[in-house]
Chain A
Amino acid sequence: MPERNAPGRDAVDTVLAFARTLRHAGVPASPDRVEAMLTALAHLRVLEPSDVYWAGRLTLCGGPDDLDRYDVAFAAFFSGERPRVPRATATVPPRLAASAPLDAGAGEGDDDVDVPDLAARASADEVLRHRDVAGLTPAEREHLRRLFALLVPAAPMRPARRRRPAARGAVHPGRTVRRALRDGGEITRLVHRRARPRPRRVVLLVDVSGSMTPYADALLRFAHAAVRSRPTSTEVFTVGTRLTRLTRELRRRDADRALEAGGRAIPDWSGGTRLGEVLKAFLDRWGQRGTARGAVVVVCSDGWERGDAALLGEQMARLRRLAHAVVWVNPHKGREGYEPLTGGMQAALPSVDHFVAGHSMAAFERLSEVLTRA
C-alpha cells in the first residue's frame, strides 16, 4: 500500500497525488470530495488496500462512468507504476481541426472580421445560411461559427405535475387559508394554482463516423447551442463505433473550448459506423432507464450502416416506443434529388416522426423549429 511502498510519505500527500491522477483519468475529483476521502480514511484502516480503495471509490466517484476510470487509476497509482492513464493532450485523437471543418479557419479566417458594410454583410449572412457546410472556405467557416453562437434552440414543452401559484386554475388550499388567517379567519379571496409546462428532454445522438466528418463539427456546434440553452434537459451522445456521452463536455460556455473537450472525449472520430449496435447500447444503458422516455430524440446521421440494418430497424422501433418523438437529421437530405436509399435509412424511416435536412445554417434553424413543435 502507499505508505508501505513509500515510507515517510504522508497519507494526505498520497491522497492528493492520487486525486490528481484521477482527474487526469477524467474523474472530476473536486477538493471537497478529496476532503471526504480523507475523512473516510480516518474511519478505516489506512494501510489496508481494500479500505483505501473503497474510501476513494465511495467519495471521489459520482456515477457509473467514473467507476472504470477509478479502477484503472487506482491500480496504476497504487501499484507504484507511473500512472498509465494517458495525459490529456496525448489522448487527443485526430485534432478536432483535422476532422472538424468549421474549426479550420480559426487563425487565417479573420480577414473579414471588420467589414463595415452592414448591408453587404447581412446579405452575405443570408447566402451563407443556405450554403452546405461541407463546402465552405476557412473564412466562411469562421463567420458561420459566429452565426452558431447566436442560435438558441428553443425547447419543446410538456405538461408538468408540479403546480405553482397562478391567477387561474385549481384552488390552492394552503395559500387560501393562510390568507384567510391573516384576514381574521374570513375567506375573502380564493388563491389558485396551476401546472406550468416544463421543458421536455431533448436527446441528440450525433454520428461522428467517417462519412459524417464534413458535418460533425456543425452538428456538435448545434448540440452545444442546445445544451447551453437548456443545460438540465438536454443530453448529447456521439455514435460511431461506440457510444460517448458528451453532455458534460458541452456544458462549457465557450463553443470552441467545449468542442475541444468533446474531441478529446470521443475515441472514435471518423471511424466506421455501427449505428444499430451503438443505438442498442444507448437504449440499454441510458434510454430505457429514462433518458429517452418521453423525450424528443434527435438522431443526426446519414444512415450509412456498416452493421446489420435489421438490428438498426429493431432498435429504432424500440426507441420510437420509448420516446415522445424521433427526429432524424440527414445532411444529405438537403441535396437535390436525394432519396433515402441506404439500407440503414430504409430500416430506420418507419420509426421516424420527422425527417429533416441538416446541411446548412438554415437547415439548423428549421431543425430548431421542428424541435419546438415536436
Chain B
Amino acid sequence: MLPGVTDRTVQPPGSPAALAAALEGTGYLPDEGLATAAYLALAMHRPLFLEGEAGVGKTALAHALAEITGRPLHRLQCYEGLEASQALYDWDFGRQLLHLRAAEAAHADADTESLEASLYDRRFLLARPLLRALEDSPSVLLVDEVDRADDEFEAFLLEILSDFTISIPELGTIRAQTPPLVVLTSNRTREVHDALKRRCLYHWLAHPDFDREVAILRRRLPDVTDGLARQVARATATLRTLDLLKPPGIAEAMDWATALHTLGARELDPDVAARTLGAVLKYREDTERVQALGTEALVGA
C-alpha cells in the first residue's frame, strides 16, 4: 500500500448525483454527463475513455476520482516507442546476475531447480504502472494521452483492459482482486482503434459553460475575487468564439486568473489583459489576432 493512502474501503457513491457531489467536495465540478460516465465506470468496471480539447480537465478527473474513492492513483504517461517493459513489468537483470553469482560462490552444488526458481522471484520483478495498478488493488489507473503511444501498444492495453490480468511467463498470472478504475485520456492526435474504444465508456469533454467555469475558478483559486473570476470566464468565453488556433481551455483560464491575481489586478482592464495575454494564448497568430481586435473587446461586454 502506498504511503498516505489509509482508507480504501470508502463506499462508492450510489448514484451519479452522489458521485457529482463527492467530486465537488474535492474541487472538481463535473456536469451531468461526466458524473454519469464516472459513475458507470465504477459500477460497470468498465474503463472510461475521455476525449476532448487540451486543458478541459481529463487528467484532473482521474485525480479527483482517486481522491473520492480513497484509492491510490497509478499513472502511465504514453509516448511513442512506449514498450511493455516500461508499461507492464521488467526483470531487474543486474540483481538477477548478482544473485546468480552469489549463489555460485556460496554453495556451488545447490539444487538447480530451486536456484532457477529463486532467479525469477517476485523480488526481482520491477512493477511498472499497469502491473502496479493490478497488484495495488483496488486502485485508479490513469492511462494518459493514449493517442501518443503507437498502435502496437494498444494491443497490450486491450489484453489488460478486457480481463484485468497480466501473465508473466516465469511467474504466472497476476490478477486484480478488484478491477481498477481505468481512465484513458486522448487529445485525438490520432484515431484510437475501435477495438479499444469498444471496451470503454466514451465521453467527449467540452469546455464548461460560463457559470460552471466561474464556479471552477472560484473553487480552485479561492484568492481570486468573484468579480475577477467572472471577467476572466467571460473573456475566455469570448476568446473561444474568435476561431483561434488554440482556443483556451479551463487550464488556461486558471493560469490567466492566477497571473492577474499575482500582478495584483483587482479587475481585468485592457492594459493588464494585454500584458498577461501570454498566459491564455499560446500561438503568435492568436495573440496578433486578439491584439488587432483590441483587448478592449475582451474586457467590455
Contacts and interface: CB of A to CB of B under 8 A. Distances in A.
Contacts of B230: none
Interface string B184-227: 00011111001001100111100000000000000000000000
18 contacts: A32-B198, A36-B44, A43-B40, A44-B36, A44-B40, A51-B16, A51-B36, A58-B36, A62-B194, A64-B51, A161-B79, A173-B93, A181-B97, A288-B245, A288-B246, A290-B190, A291-B189, A291-B190
A318 B285 CA distance: 10
A185 interface: yes
Given A185-B101, A289-B187, A174 B85 contact: yes
A41 to B, nearest CB: 10
| B40, B79, B189 interface centre (most CB from chain A within 10 Å) | B40
Given A177-B93, A198-B150, A185 B104 contact: yes
A188 interface: no
Contacts of B147: 290
A290 to B, nearest CB: 3
Contacts of B81: 160-163, 195
B86 to A, nearest CB: 11
Interface string A168-179: 000001100110
Nearest to A180: B97
Interface in B29-82: 32-33, 36-37, 39-40, 43-44, 46, 51, 79-82
Contact of B44 (A43, A61, A62, A290): A43
Interface of A, secondary structure class, is: helix
Interface of B: 16, 32-33, 36-37, 39-40, 43-44, 46, 51, 79-83, 85, 90-91, 93-94, 96-97, 100-101, 104, 119, 147, 150-152, 187-191, 194, 197-198, 201-204, 243, 245-246
A64 B151 CA distance: 20
Interface in A34-72: 36, 39-40, 43-44, 50-51, 54-55, 57-59, 61-64, 67
A293 interface: yes
Nearest to B247: A284
A293 B80 CA distance: 14
A14 to B, nearest CB: 19
B5 to A, nearest CB: 26
A181 B100 contact: yes
A79 interface: no
B97 A67 contact: no
A232 interface: yes
Given A181-B119, A185-B104, A33 B44 contact: no
